[in-house]
């Protein structure tokens, strides 16, 4: 399977996704590294596969995540490119510990979680949600931090 710059956790339960997101933030992963896409809060019921691929997610995996999202499952993403490998492993463990699965494991959780992560080179910033995609007005959205936070 292809390597990815991004770790993705799929959650059947939105509350678990929120808890995973909060745990990642509490462990030092900044707004510029972590994203939560809740299909219940977004106006569009689909994710743009091209956007996922541009963010560093291989095409076949991007299709899997877009399908899961369209079925109402929340996604938590962590941009791991440019981070120390230990930080990437910590992100995987936190997501998995909160009940996430990914394209490698599948819903049945038969395979390993995120076995092909690439951390060597930084990837561009991305967020799966744009303020205009959310049900609440963009003015109610929290503004991103101006400083980039990097977990150690």
Asked if 94 and 100 touch (Cβ cutoff 8 Å), the reply is no
At 148 the pLDDT is 45
Q: pLDDT tens-digit profile of 26-53?
A: 999 988 889 999 988 877 767 888 888 8
At 50 the pLDDT is 86
Q: pTM score, two decimals?
A: 0.75
Give the separation between CA 133 and CA 87, rounded to whole angstroms: 30
Give the list of residues 6+ apart from residue 85 with CB closer than 8 angstroms, or none.
117, 119
CA 125 to chain centre: 12
Question: Which domains, and CATH codes, for the chain?
Answer: 6-104 (3.30.70)
At 32 the pLDDT is 85
Give the separation between CA 6 and CA 143, rounded to whole angstroms: 22
**The two structure tokens encoding residue 21:** 């997101």
At 18 the pLDDT is 96
At 11 the pLDDT is 95
Give the separation between CA 152 and CA 86, rounded to whole angstroms: 8
Question: What backbone torsions phi and psi does residue 66 show, to the nearest 5 degrees?
Answer: -65, -40
Those residues of the chain that have pLDDT short of 50 are 130-131, 134, 137-149
């Amino acid at each position: 399977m292809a390597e990815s710059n991004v770790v993705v956790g799929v959650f059947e339960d939105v509350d678990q996704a929120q808890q995973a997101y909060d745990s990642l933030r509490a462990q030092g992963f900044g707004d510029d590294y972590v994203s939560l896409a809740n299909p219940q809060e977004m106006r569009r019921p689909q994710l743009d596969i091209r956007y996922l691929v541009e963010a560093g997610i291989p095409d076949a995996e991007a299709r899997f995540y877009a399908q899961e999202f369209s079925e109402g499952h929340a996604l938590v993403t962590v941009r791991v490119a440019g981070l120390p490998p230990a930080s990437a492993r910590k992100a995987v463990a936190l997501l998995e510990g909160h009940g996430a699965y990914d394209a490698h494991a599948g819903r049945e959780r038969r395979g390993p979680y995120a076995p092909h992560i690439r951390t060597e080179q930084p990837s561009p910033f991305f967020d799966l949600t744009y303020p205009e995609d959310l049900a609440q007005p963009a003015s109610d959205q929290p503004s991103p931090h101006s400083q980039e936070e990097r977990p150690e």
